[in-house]
Amino acid sequence: MGMRFSATVSVKDLQHDTGAILEELGASNQPTAVVQDDRAAAVLVSIGAWEKAEAERELLQRLAKGETEIASGASHDLDEVLAEADRLLHTRSA
């Protein structure tokens, strides 16, 4: 699965202009491919984008766990589920 990046930076440019590249990365909130020998070697993301991706990944894991629990017949009190969802949402936005 190949991913296309709207921004790329060479390892050499990253070494020489790290501050400006990080500033641009934070402003754009888009991932940037780090290119070495004409191939993508790594991806840089702003801390905000990384935190958002981690929160989304955690939510997907919880949803998958919930689907598994539903399939096995497990159940939870709706008020408890909603309280936990509120807690997670408030923790992420703080």
Distances (CA, A) of 23 to 26, 79, 80, 82: 5, 43, 41, 38
44 and 32 Cβ atoms separated by less than 8 Å: yes
- Check pLDDT > 70 for residue 94: no
Model pLDDT, residue 84: 83
- Check pLDDT > 60 for residue 1: no
Higher pLDDT, 34 or 63: 34
User: In whole angstroms, what separates CA 51 from the centre of its chain?
Assistant: 6
- Check pLDDT > 60 for residue 87: yes
Model pLDDT, residue 57: 92
Rg (CA), the chain: 19
Write the pLDDT tens digit of every residue in 27-50: 988 899 999 999 999 999 999 889
pLDDT band at 66 (very low <50, low <70, confident <90, very high): confident
Tell me the Ramachandran region of residue 73: left when phi exceeds 0, alpha when psi lies from -120 to 50, beta otherwise: left
